[in-house]
Amino acid sequence: MSMLSRTAVALGLTLAAACTTGGPRPETVLASDQAGPSALASDGTFLYWTNSTGGQVMRLPLAGGTPEQRLSGQSQPQGIALSSTHVFWANRGSQTIMKAPLAGGEPIVVATGQTDPEGLAVAGGFVFWADGSAVMMKAPLANGAASAVSDQTSGPKDIATNATHVFWSNADGTIRRAPLAGGAEETLAKGDQNATSLALDDTHVYWTTFFGSIHRVPLAGGTLEKLAENEDHPRAIAVDGSFIYWAAGGKDGAIRRMPRSGGKPETFAGEQAEPTGILMDSGNLYWVNQAGGTVLRAPR
């Protein structure tokens, strides 16, 4: 595979993004001319993403710079996750889970025969992934056979982890979890059908549904809350101490947010082109525009 080839980039381009509080909010385009950017991950130094249409795994210094093509020739790469030594991703086209050294090297097959691989997460010595047409799966980070986390076909979509459990959303509307160390799965809640993206804070699981709602439930299960509804196909959710953020809409999409304590949703950044892949660090929010071919950052 070709490594470290350079791609075209537009750096430092500032846009005026609509925000209902405080007026225009600056967005910086970190990378442009990307071929279907899909998902983001960060190791604190670099921002990594997959280009689903272009078949690439890319990275860029968080401080700014020129994007690097780390891997090419992949088959519709989707979700992405990082360990301390490797980048992992899902190839939907070839139905495989892959990895490659962060320092550079050839891709390695982790698992084959995954009918619809989507979200990935790394925790507890394993890489976990959602086989969207089947069940939740995992494999050891080093080497070893893939195995099922769940014995129930539920249409898993997205994954989040904390120190003890892996959590996942499902097409059947359920939110489930299982111990990282192994053990029986639990159903925490059942909300609207087609639960999509998932995020955690210290107390709750938050998720979106394809048909427009935002939900949460305590990490150990309990009262299900519907926080918002009638959103435009929300996806790619993230949570900080003050707000819940999500991507919404298609070619006329937006990054939306609402107070974590409850309240009316508002537009954080408008005029986005199929936004998804939200990620945050201590001061910034990152996302990709699939149709626009861009990777963006805005201060929170």
Cβ pair 251, 5 in contact under 8 A: no
- Amino acid at residue number 45: T
Estimate to the nearest angstrom the gap between the alpha carbon of 33 and the chain centroid: 20
Task: Report residue 4's pLDDT band, with 50, 70 and 90 as the boundaries.
Answer: very low
Tell me which of 4-18, 61-75, 164-178 is least confident: 4-18
Chain segment 18-52, per-residue pLDDT in tens: 444 444 557 899 999 999 999 999 999 999 999 99
Beta strands in 92-144 (DSSP E): 96-101, 108-111, 117-123, 126-131, 136-140
Domain extent, residue 51, equals 5-299
We report the CATH number of the domain holding residue 225 as: 2.120.10.30
Q: Provide the 3-class DSSP secondary structure of residue 24.
A: coil
Q: Tell me whether strands 165-170 and 156-161 are parallel, antiparallel or unpaired.
A: antiparallel
Q: Are residues 288 and 34 in contact, defined by beta-carbon separation less than 8 angstroms?
A: yes
What number of other Cβ atoms are within 10 A of residue 103's Cβ? Answer: 7
| CB neighbourhood size of 273 (10 A) | 16
**Of the candidates 40, 76, 30, which has an alpha carbon nearest to the alpha carbon of residue 56?**
76
Distance (Å, whole) CA 226 – CA 181: 31
* Total of domains in the chain: 1
Helix (H, G, I), strand (E, B) or coil at 185: coil
User: Residue 123: which of 76, 178, 195 has the closest Cα?
Assistant: 178
In tens, the pLDDT along 114-131 reads 989 989 999 999 999 999
